[in-house]
Amino acid sequence: MTEDFLPLMGIDHVELWVGNARQAAHYYSKAFGFKVSAYRGPETKIRDKVSWLCEQGDIRYVFTGAQAPDHEIARHVLEHGDGVRDVALRVPDATRAWEETTKRGAESAVEPTVLEDDHGKVVRSAIKAYGDTIHSFIERENYSGPFLPGFRVEEAYADDGPEVGLQAIDHVVANVELGKMNEWVEFYANVMGFSQLVHFRDDQISTEYTALMSKVMWDGEGRVKFPINEPAEGKKKSQIEEYLDFYRSPGVQHIAMRTDGIVQTVEALRARGVRFITVPETYYADIAERVGEIDEDFEDLERLAILADRDEEGYLLQIFTKIQQDRPTVFFEVIERHGSQGFGLGNFKELFVAIEREQAERGNL
């Protein structure tokens, strides 16, 4: 049996570099039901940036902003807008993770560094991925603090909104340039030991005008799944090209968050003001025949614009938010799995058309 040179315990957190971290944390608290639980900044002796930790279930988002216009975070926001900087992975040994990946060809972003405070120590290292995105390796077995050294516990915002019920990050999707998808597939295979789970061809995900191709890389255990999209040749500009134009480099397109009760979750998110992409009513005309028996009520799915798909392993339910910042870049997915480990191939066409419709409204098709 081949040794696992990069054992992964899951996604530790996702850090977004944003223009105003305090406001971002407040938004995701109020709109998505996250709890603001920790903070670092000048009050904790961090002078050049501020970060707010938002948690729900096993999901941790860190929103970080710069304190000066010439800081690398400010330059990142100027170039990309608000976006994902770090998809951080929890590992038992951050030093070994860095050594194993860099010797296999990864470019170092952060050499192994020990972070300490009164609660113990965390070891962090990082490698570069697509665009300006990095993967940190976080070793936290010897730490009992609120998140990372430098953070303090923060009193959560008062929240009278309905419980949302998001539990974990299911997958994180990257958009890369035309012709680069297979390069990044090989990167995750050779550098991180991932294998390919799914391949979507351009004839499976297309409209009259545009198309995309996608391959899903995973750790083999299901703890970490990274779909990678690239545009395909079409008559007009694809939604992947639109993303690349406005993000100005490859980057994270969307993050899928898992729930065990998508009907209740989407009801709560809609009540909190989150807006979702919708599909035509005709999508639901034959949904019972296409998907078969499910635990949920099909009327609820239609009422809330939730999509359903089935494969040989089971079924899944999913829905996608509208863009969550000014640029047409990052959005979110909510997904509930009943056996299926797929990604809703049966829904891709309708989703693609719906996103393309919004793209046309922006004048970017």
Rounded to 10 degrees, the C-alpha dihedral 257/263/267/273 comes to 30
Rounded to 5 degrees, φ, ψ at 318 are -155, 155
Strand pairing class (59-66; 195-200): unpaired
Residue-wise pLDDT for 71-80, tens only, equals 999 999 999 9
- Percentage of residues in the chain with pLDDT exceeding 90? 79
Please say whether the beta carbons of 194 and 220 come within 8 A: yes
pLDDT at 208 over 80: no
Task: Spell out the long-range contacts of 280-286 with Cβ–Cβ below 8 A and sequence spacing 24 or more.
Answer: 280/350, 283/307, 283/350
Which pLDDT belongs to residue 359? 82
CATH (domain of 73): 3.10.180.10
The residues, any chain, with a CB within 8 Å of residue 160's CB and separated by 6 or more, are: none
Give the whole-angstrom CA distance, residue 226 versus residue 171.
6
Give the whole-angstrom CA distance, residue 200 versus residue 155.
44
Residue 158 lies in a domain: no
Residue 3 lies in a domain: no
Give the whole-angstrom CA distance, residue 219 versus residue 195.
7
Strand pairing class (49-56; 35-40): antiparallel
Domain C-terminal end among 93, 123, 153: 153
Mean of the pLDDT values across residues 338-351?
76
Q: Which among 126, 123, 84 is positioned nearest to 109, based on CA atoms?
A: 126
Whether residue 174 is found in the same domain as residue 296? yes
Whether residue 171 is found in the same domain as residue 130? no
Which pLDDT belongs to residue 54? 98
Per the structure, the count of domains in the chain is 2
Please say whether the beta carbons of 135 and 88 come within 8 A: yes
Which pLDDT belongs to residue 1? 44
pLDDT at 209 over 60: no
Give the whole-angstrom CA distance, residue 187 versus residue 346.
28
Residue 348 lies in a domain: yes
Amino acid letter for position 250: P
Buried b (16+ CB within 10 A) or exposed e, 208-220: eebbbbbbbbbbe
Structure tokens at 215: 């391959």
pLDDT band at 286 (very low <50, low <70, confident <90, very high): confident
Query: What are the angstrom distances between the C-alpha of 12 and each of 61, 106, 316?
Result: 9, 20, 24
User: Would you call 71 helix, strand, or coil by DSSP?
Assistant: coil
Lowest-confidence pick of 68-72, 231-235, 250-254: 231-235
Domain containing 139 equals 10-153
Whether residue 196 is found in the same domain as residue 288? yes
The helix or strand, by DSSP H or E, that contains position 361, with its residue range, turns out to be helix 345-361
Whether residue 191 is found in the same domain as residue 146? no
pLDDT at 187 over 60: yes
Alpha carbon 195 to its chain's center:
19
The answer to whether the pTM exceeds 0.85 is yes
